[in-house]
Structure 1
Amino acid sequence: MPMPHDPHWPPNLPRRLTLPETSLFYNAEVSARRFPHKPFLLYYGEPLSFARFHDEATRLAGYLQHDCGVKAGDRVLLYLQNSPQWMLGYYAILRANAVVVPVNPMNMSEELAHYVADSGARVALVAQDLLPQALPHHRTHGATGEAAIDHLVVATYSDYLGQPEGLRLPDFVTDPRRVSQGAGLHAWHDALAAHRAPGPHTAGPDDLCVMPYTSGTTGHPKGCMHTHRSVMCTAVGGMHWFARTQDDVMLSVLPLFHVTGMTGGMNGPLLVGASVVLMSRWDRETAAELMQRHGVTSWQAIATMVVDFLANPRIDEVDLSALNGIRGGGAAMPEAVAAKLKALTGLDYVEGYGMSETMAATHINPPHRPKPQCLGIPVFGVDARILDPVTLQEVPQGETGEVVVHAPQVMQGYWRNDKATAEAFIDIDGQRFLRTGDLARVDEDGYFFMTDRLKRMINASGYKVWPAEVEALMYAHPAIHEVCVIGAQDDKRGETVKAVVVLKPEHRGQVSEQDIVAWAREHMAAYKSPRLVSFVESLPKSGTGKIMWRELQERQAEADAGASSLSPGA
């Protein structure tokens, strides 16, 4: 059936792609055979060839099986900053026929507990800078009961550093290796030195591959069950959509635990044999130097990175002539910033849309005809519709409704959560569609534009923050009687997290708003911890006693609008 976006489809590309009937790990094997000596990774200038990558991932897989007891289908936590070990660990877990559970390295020990308990993981790959957060969950170092980790394989980032001259590196990257001692603790370099050979690779396209966790209104993160087929789908699709080849050099600085960075900054490049310039943490000057040194052709970024990059006073001196594509998503790119980027590079910022539940993009703008602040058009094999969220009937073109998608990259469901899975899907004409919870409209050209959210969520610098999860963590503070978390306008982050708090009577006058802010920063990831705290006597409630968060959110929106109208130049 003809679609409105058909005339704007990228030239010479089919509407559907035939997906490989292999495991994701097979891509590492193929690229190692095709391009053995070519750098897959350039970690602050230090190369790691495709052949070495495949060899070390295979050896680590053998160690996981023989020394840590990992069996087919086991979940293994991956808890590191962006690094060669993150990528090696991911593919080692797959080679061991197991399932990757990527964990945000910003998560603190209290947050990590849920991943351990819910996934049932008994083995974790962890970086030495994060070991203090992981140890309380290890069986011989504090944890008790069934929800405990038996084995921690500890990585040191500096093991993969050469002599990065003239680059500004984070301290955690340059820290020397510290000996990890104790039962169940294994040093990464010892695991590789053991030269364990793994058993047969048996995982196929329909076996579980990776379980990124996403949160929701319940406050508890849920594991999105993705197979090798669904992960392969976006890896293959992304490379075709942007016409990437083995001679591309891609800057990978988005978090790898997030599906966007995972797909565009690792799985896709490994599939086609492209080189990846890898950074552990964003730094605009280091990024500019690496782009110049290595001739980066493709950069995947979020709006806040681009804003910071363009604010570099020496940006006009940087040679960006090799750069031929910039893309991203997560939050809309301001038109003024996109215009400044185009003036500097001659390139459009190409936006896309996806979720953890869809292993990154279901919609991307056509590179040859992007629209600003737009989700794009449905990509290969994606059936996307706009429904009335109440009647579940399709709405006319131009009207707002909920985005639902049927596509090969959609997850199987939520791990051990049949209720949430049932609520996430609907049946249309015998096909299973995912309810995204995002409200959008479609223009006359078939392009999708976000208008609002059906789900309660805060978008802070592209990170999704789920208020119920933050509230659940904040109730651990001894002075908090009740709390409601909402979003507030922020010039740099777009939105930021605000907590409206009712203190227990005995703590009033004894605890300040800043005390709550400081406590939250110590007990949860920085991106989700409230930057703003407001004390109130009581929270608005419905007749059934439920906190009326929407009323507080609307009040905040009015206050933000008033502040904007009073600001200079408004």
Structure 2
Amino acid sequence: MEKAWYKVWPKDVPQHFIFEDKVLENYVEEHARTNPDDTAVYFYGKIITYGELADMYLQLASQLHARGVGKGDTVALYMENSPQFIIAFLAVQRLGAIAVPMNPMFKRAELSHLLGDAGPKAIFIQENLLAHLCPILPEFPGLRIISTALTDFAPDHPEFPMSFAPMERTISRLPGEERILELIHYDDPIPPANACLDDTAVLQYTSGTTGMPKGAELTHRNIVANAFSFRDGVRTKPRDRHLSAMPLFHVIGLVNCMGSPLCNGGAIMLFHRFVPDVILEAIHKLQIQHWVSTATMNIAVINHPNAANYDLSSLSGCLSGGAPVPKPIFERFYEVTRTRLLEGYGLSETTAQITMNFMENARVGSAGIPLMDADIRVVAIDDPNVEVPPGQQGELAFKGPMVMKGYWKNLEATAAAFVDGWFLSGDLGHVDEDGYVHISGRKKELIKSSGFSVFPNEVESIMHKHTAIKEVCVVGVAHDYRGEEVKAYVVLKEEAIGNVTEQDIVEWAKEHMAVYKYPRKVEFLNELPKTGSGKLLRRALYERANQIQKT
């Protein structure tokens, strides 16, 4: 039977992938041969062409190979956004080795867990992060250290304010430590390409909000599939300019902001981190066409006091992920940018998006339709073997070329994540009659109030209609009578601070939603806790709310 979403599928987008026998690095090398002078990476005014990028990563691959790194070995990338991250990632791919992107905000305990689990032969590391590595180095004898400074590839005269500055190194050079800048200037023979589509390419560690992070094994096929699904979904072309302010260590940044432009011969307009003033000015001056963001970034842009002073009309394809986007944010985004925001949905385990809204037939309030060759089913919350009918809430389960192999060295977790080949996402939602996916929230975040199911995202979407609310997060709090009641953590817009009370918000919510659903408690915060990729840490607020309740 034909899938429901094929009724709304764009006519000029293929429904199925035809994979060439190429991984991401092969596409980059090909662009370097055919269009060597095209811009591959822009970094605050520093331009690296495809020809230059290939020269650097191929020589780095040669030096890694000479130091014993080969097919199937793991290599850690403990760096913030920088050209060095891209160069190192491609060098690892060339050898058929496995890249392990690591959150640069991780400290000693988290770093020790990831290094112990992934077992890398080498680590690319920023100099200012060595202080976290040095105390645990005795645990990892033989680990090769290749260091870099953020300023190594920064221009002498930046075109935009940089969110970093030269830092004096506080740790002496370690025994055996080498530097990326030294290794890329050798002139040794280049090792042959050694990666196949179904080899593991990346260990993408999950956020770890419900326990220690697990390494999702993503293959080269996974990465290529989603790199091209993004291309087709937002209509990117060779030489298009892609804003890259998402962290590259995160799967969205890795695949959509880096992998997709590189596969398609685009230009990565790379920024160290998201700074609203800088990003608005960059879109205006550089005439950027594509931007992948999170709801947090969208909110920062539309609430920026000077947003109207920038010409953002060059934007043509903007994808938002990481969390559902409330409808008022969509509307305001269009007012500010004059382009539509497209929402998608995915996880580390699905190599970023597995559903998204295409440029044609986008449906606001949904996470779009399954991508090429992807399939979805909605299963009962208490029994993953039972499929529920369209329109009914359940847990989302997926198949497709973007779904991971499994969890690295964790057969038990892998077995728990799959049922008859379907990946259980842990997210709740439903699929409508046209195949559009609607996300309700995490299975573990479902609030049961007076016997009713309350979906946090639904409550948050309604609360975003309040003119004083900038950001909101809803959690369940234990209650003797109701089982749980709803609590909202709210960040007010600047002009509302001091003019709106927590009780005002409660009374407004009481008028706008069902009695079991509205937040009985509201607490104002200066900001909501988030991960390094901008994803809301709902678990931290849940624990805070329930600890306060116990007290």
Q: What TM-score results when the alignment is normalised by the length of structure 1?
A: 0.78
Query: 1:96–1:533: structure 2 CA closer, same or farther, 3 Å change rule?
Result: closer
Q: Distance in 1 between matches of 2:545 and 2:292?
A: 37
How does 1:250-261 map onto structure 2 within 5 Å?
Answer: 250-261=242-253
AA of the residue aligned to 1:444: E
> Is the 1:364–1:377 contact (alpha carbons within 8 Å) kept by the matching residues of 2?
yes
Q: Distance in 2 between matches of 1:107 and 1:405?
A: 30
Corresponding position: 1:336 with 2:328: yes
Deviation digits for residues 442-483 of structure 1 (CA, Å, limit 9, x no counterpart): 122221111132246999999x9xxxxxxxxxxxxxxxxxxx
Task: Tell which deviates more after alignment, 267-276 or 24-33.
Answer: 24-33
Q: Distance in 1 between matches of 2:189 and 2:281?
A: 39
Query: 1:149–1:302: structure 2 CA closer, same or farther, 3 Å change rule?
Result: farther
SS in 1 for 2:489: strand
List gaps (5 residues or longer) in structure 2.
Answer: 447-455, 461-469, 474-485, 494-528
SS in 2 for 1:260: helix
Match of 2:119 in 1: 120
Query: 1:425–1:487: structure 2 CA closer, same or farther, 3 Å change rule?
Result: farther
CA drift at 1:525: 7.1
Match of 1:245 in 2: 237
Match of 2:6 in 1: 6
Match of 2:89 in 1: 90
Match of 1:311 in 2: 303
> Is the 1:59–1:198 contact (alpha carbons within 8 Å) kept by the matching residues of 2?
yes
> Is the 2:246–2:252 contact (alpha carbons within 8 Å) kept by the matching residues of 1?
yes
Query: 1:8–1:532: structure 2 CA closer, same or farther, 3 Å change rule?
Result: closer
Query: 1:527–1:338: structure 2 CA closer, same or farther, 3 Å change rule?
Result: closer
Q: Distance in 2 between matches of 1:357 and 1:84?
A: 25
Q: Distance in 1 between matches of 2:184 and 2:345?
A: 38
AA of the residue aligned to 1:450: I
SS in 2 for 1:116: helix
Q: Distance in 2 between matches of 1:192 and 1:222?
A: 32
CA drift at 1:199: 2.5
Corresponding position: 1:15 with 2:23: no
Residue of structure 2 aligned with 1:348, choices 330, 340, 344:
340
Deviation digits for residues 69-93 of structure 1 (CA, Å, limit 9, x no counterpart): 2121110000100110111111111
CA drift at 1:149: 5.6
SS in 2 for 1:76: strand
Task: Tell which deviates more after alignment, 453-462 or 194-203.
Answer: 453-462
Corresponding position: 1:160 with 2:153: yes
> Is the 1:122–1:148 contact (alpha carbons within 8 Å) kept by the matching residues of 2?
no
SS in 2 for 1:414: coil
Deviation digits for residues 216-271 of structure 1 (CA, Å, limit 9, x no counterpart): 68612111111111111111211122221113111011111111111110111001
AA of the residue aligned to 2:97: A
Q: Distance in 2 between matches of 1:54 and 1:29?
A: 6
Corresponding position: 1:422 with 2:415: yes
- What is the Cα-based RMSD across aligned positions, in Å? 3.3
Q: Distance in 2 between matches of 1:382 and 1:487?
A: 36
Corresponding position: 1:231 with 2:223: yes
Deviation digits for residues 386-431 of structure 1 (CA, Å, limit 9, x no counterpart): 011323211111110111111011111111100001111111xxxx
Query: 1:217–1:51: structure 2 CA closer, same or farther, 3 Å change rule?
Result: closer
Match of 2:515 in 1: none
CA drift at 1:345: 2.2
Match of 2:360 in 1: 368
Query: 1:530–1:410: structure 2 CA closer, same or farther, 3 Å change rule?
Result: closer
Match of 1:326 in 2: 318
CA drift at 1:530: 8.6
Match of 1:282 in 2: 274
Query: 1:278–1:7: structure 2 CA closer, same or farther, 3 Å change rule?
Result: same
List gaps (5 residues or longer) in structure 1.
Answer: 465-485, 494-520, 535-547, 557-570
Query: 1:179–1:60: structure 2 CA closer, same or farther, 3 Å change rule?
Result: farther
Match of 1:35 in 2: 35
Q: Distance in 1 between matches of 2:547 and 2:54?
A: 50
Corresponding position: 1:205 with 2:197: yes
Deviation digits for residues 279-306 of structure 1 (CA, Å, limit 9, x no counterpart): 0111111112211222101111111112
Q: What TM-score results when the alignment is normalised by the length of structure 2?
A: 0.80
CA drift at 1:128: 1.3
CA drift at 1:22: 2.0
Match of 1:507 in 2: none
How does 1:495-514 map onto structure 2 within 5 Å?
Answer: none
Query: 1:196–1:116: structure 2 CA closer, same or farther, 3 Å change rule?
Result: farther
Corresponding position: 1:186 with 2:189: no
Match of 1:63 in 2: 63
Q: Distance in 2 between matches of 1:411 and 1:455?
A: 22
Residue of structure 2 aligned with 1:410, choices 395, 403, 406:
403
> Is the 1:374–1:450 contact (alpha carbons within 8 Å) kept by the matching residues of 2?
yes
SS in 2 for 1:171: coil
Match of 1:108 in 2: 107
> Is the 1:106–1:526 contact (alpha carbons within 8 Å) kept by the matching residues of 2?
no
Q: Give the count of matched residue pairs.
A: 481
Q: Distance in 2 between matches of 1:76 and 1:386?
A: 37
Query: 1:526–1:11: structure 2 CA closer, same or farther, 3 Å change rule?
Result: closer
> Is the 1:207–1:227 contact (alpha carbons within 8 Å) kept by the matching residues of 2?
yes
> Is the 1:117–1:148 contact (alpha carbons within 8 Å) kept by the matching residues of 2?
no
Residue of structure 1 aligned with 2:440, choices 427, 432, 451:
451
> Is the 2:313–2:338 contact (alpha carbons within 8 Å) kept by the matching residues of 1?
no
SS in 1 for 2:425: strand
Q: Distance in 2 between matches of 1:449 and 1:532?
A: 22
SS in 2 for 1:386: strand
Identity %: 30
CA drift at 1:46: 1.1
